[in-house]
Amino acid sequence: MTSTSHAQLPVDDATWWRQAAVYQIYPRSFADANGDGIGDLRGIISRVPYLQGLGIDAVWLSPFYPSALADGGYDVADYRDVDPRIGTLDEFDEMVAALHGAGIRVIVDIVPNHSSDDHVWFQEALAAAPGSPERARYIFRDGLGADGSKPPADWTSMFGGPSWTRVPDGQWYLHLFAKEQPDFNWDNEEVRADFRQTLRFWSDRGVDGFRIDVAHGLTKELGESLPSQAEIDAITEPGAHPLWDRDEVHEIYADWRKVFDEYTPPRIAVAEAWVSTPRRPRYASAEGLGQAFNFDLLEADFDAEQFRTIIADNLALSAASGSSTTWVFSNHDVVRHATRYALPPRNGSTVKQGQKWLLSGGTQPVADVELGLRRARAATLLMLGLPGSAYLYQGEELGLPEVADIPAAERQDPAFFRNPGVDIGRDGCRVPLPWTREGTSLGFGPDGAHLPQPQGFGALSVEAQDGAPGSTLELYRAALALRHELRAAETLDWVRSPADVLHLARPGGWHVVTNFGTHAVPLPDGEVVLTSGPLAGTQLPSSTTAWIRTV
């Protein structure tokens, strides 16, 4: 690292993550340098100036490891290498140096609940006999029935279809996701040691932190006879579920914390844990991962009351855990928020249904595209005005919509293949980015793109929005630049406002006001510094946020 990068990334700053703006890169769809249609590390390196100009603090890279892509890279065949289609370890080092040189930290994705079935350990398990140490790294069981031909339990996987798959010698293995993603046995000390090695491997290469995939998985309580899916579904007591959110999982994170703290500054981690709100602080505790995703706003309608409650609850919760809260509207698993807000409200359906809805494509009925983008911009400007970390997903800074009409033959997501006719899967938010107005893949690379870009993507390209007043890209750039001043302290005061309006005050005379209602409302006093859309004279129009400063 050069002295400049040290200057920009002070080693004594152990709290950089608390109010960071973190930009998620889905590597295969970000930028393709060599023209094979798949985004790569060279592509990321070439776009470092763009990321620096955007004003983010860190990038989080979704998996770039060797993978057969049964689940977009979340089926990892080797945790300590780069997929040759994406790059090399040397290029990874070059990318980290380039990002650090631009003042941007690097977070990588760790997928500890399951590996790929191509992983050498799973291949060894298949080759070894039932009861062998090789099988003990995964979860193998005999089947039910006289000949063992029935699965050990009737469980449904997260992507639909059964959770157990039979191997040629008759045993079955557990996979809570696709059958190409066998679950690790976290009671096995070799598994634990191997993940410590992986965390050190990337930390030694200069990685600043980790996003922990399915952090509420890993440990399972599997007794001699397994409960049925119906029995499991009936469990409501916190911590009592045999598969998810077991208390024992926190022993693993306490162990990882020791690894993180071997480094200066300590490596950070953020948990992807789809757990109920009261169960979240434990994942975010300083003795554990330190931070956890909060998907509450992502699951809410564009509604003042829902937003008010979620913001207040989560700030209280993070104060209790000592962590900072996180916010996110879009990622590689959900319908992009510009499209979500273009659809009718969900009216508080439960998390599980919400997840189903979000993952199912959600393109019926027809979307009001203009309204969706207007609300998405207002919601984002509100989020960037909140205390805590903001996680952004590549392309949202362009206001990209979900791509709904990808032909079946071109789809890649296992959620699509395992739920024919029910779930269109998550490919629609993973379409390669448009960088230019024209060209075979709109500047994504010198040739094609691994998922088809729709009509109209070129008009939303970086080239089309760069320097264009009022564009979504310029809104993100302006907000992220101003956010450095606005986030001076992690505090927020609510200012009395009409029911459809949220008005919050931040230190330094900053005010963030969002009108969720259908009619314009008078703007509060002060200098209007930034708005998510045009004002109507002295009025704040419907579905618009303003950042205001008073002296």
Positions that interact with ligand GLC (CB under 6 A):
71, 74, 111, 177, 213-214, 272, 332-333
* Residue 427 contact, options Ca ion, ligand GLC, none, Cβ 5-8 Å cut-off depending on partner type: none
CB of 426 to ligand GLC, least distance (A): 7
Please give the Cα distance from 105 to 102 (Å, whole number): 9
Q: Which CB, 111 or 479, lies closer to ligand GLC?
A: 111
Shortest-Cβ-distance residue relative to ligand GLC: 74
Degrees to nearest 5, angle at CA 229 with 225 and 235: 90
Q: Helix or strand or coil: residue 550?
A: coil
Q: Least distance to Ca ion from the beta carbon of 33, Å?
A: 6
Beta-sheet pairing, 105-110 with 209-212: parallel
Q: Which listed option, Ca ion, ligand GLC, none, makes contact with residue 208 (CB within 5 to 8 Å by class)? A: none
Residue 61: closest CA among 87, 35, 33: 87
Q: Are 516 and 302 in contact (CB under 8 A)?
A: yes
What, of ligand GLC, Ca ion, none, does residue 333 touch, CB below 5 to 8 Å by kind?
Answer: ligand GLC
38 binds, among Ca ion, ligand GLC, none (CB under 5 to 8 A by kind): Ca ion
Q: Which is nearer to ligand GLC, 67 or 531 (CB)?
A: 67
Q: How far is CA 82 from CA 90, 102, 125, 207, in A?
A: 9, 22, 23, 14
CA torsion sign for 235, 327, 366, 546 is: positive
Residue 36: contacted member of Ca ion, ligand GLC, none (CB under 5 to 8 Å, by partner type): Ca ion
Sites of contact with Ca ion (CB under 5 A): 32, 34, 36, 38, 40
Q: Give the residue with the Cβ less far from ligand GLC, 71 or 490.
A: 71
Q: How far is the CB of 140 from ligand GLC (least distance, A)?
A: 20
In the set 109, 117, 213, 301, the catalytic residue is 213
In the bound state with ligand GLC, the residue whose beta carbon lies nearer, of 194 and 368, is: 194
CB of 126 to ligand GLC, least distance (A): 21
Query: Closest Cα partner for 50 from 83, 28, 23, 68?
Result: 23
Asked if residue 49 has a cis previous peptide bond (ω within 30° of 0), the answer is no
83 is catalytic: no
DSSP 422: T
d(CA 520, CA 11): 47
- Shortest CB 118 distance to ligand GLC, Å: 15
Is the peptide bond prior to 345 cis by the omega test (within 30 degrees of 0)?
no
The smaller minimum CB distance to Ca ion, of residues 36 and 251, is found at 36
Strand partners, 23: 59, 392
Q: Of 411 and 549, which CB lies nearer to ligand GLC in the complex structure?
A: 411
- Does the annotation mark 231 as catalytic? no
Query: At closest approach, how far in Å is the CB of 305 from ligand GLC?
Result: 28
Q: Check if the beta carbon of residue 302 is closer than 8 Å to that of residue 263.
A: no
Q: Which of 247, 262, 438, 493 is catalytic?
A: 262
Report the catalytic residues. 213, 262
